[in-house]
Amino acid sequence: PGKPVVQVKVRSFDGVEVPVDLAESEDDMKKMTVHDLKDKIQRVPGNPDAVLTYGGKRLDSDSKPLGEYGLKPKALIQMVVTVHGGGLRH
């Protein structure tokens, strides 16, 4: 059989959860960076500028290893829309 795969789920804006294969082991997953994760989830529908969150924390440092965010296998990662600017124009 194939190698074991560590998977997470990504919840897109419309609430659909998409499984994403990340690595062959939990150790490999923890060494991956946020940038690596973003590359893996490009196929998930949504805004490419979306902010990813896990456990209430923004995954906002592309070079930071996922292990530093406490990411676990089968974790649910959320895509969040960010609104730039704001206020009323006059």
Q: Hey, where are the domains in the chain?
A: 6-80
Query: Given a cut of 70, is residue 83 above it in pLDDT?
Result: no
Distances from the Cα of 51 to the Cαs of 5, 7, 41, 58, in angstroms? 25, 19, 12, 7
- Which of the four pLDDT bands, split at 50, 70 and 90, describes residue 19? very high
Tokens at 86, concatenated:
């704001």
Q: What is the pLDDT of residues 61-79, one digit of tens each?
A: 999 999 999 999 999 999 9
The CATH number fitting domain 6-80, selected from 3.40.50.11750, 3.10.20.90, 3.40.50.10260, 3.30.830.10: 3.10.20.90
For the chain, what is the mean pLDDT? 86
Selection from 38, 77, 74, 85 nearest residue 54 by Cα: 77
Q: In a 10 Å sphere around its CB, with 0-12 CB exposed, 13-18 middle and 19+ buried, how is residue 2 labelled? A: exposed
Query: Quick one: which of 52, 63, 68, 65 has its CA closest to 18?
Result: 52
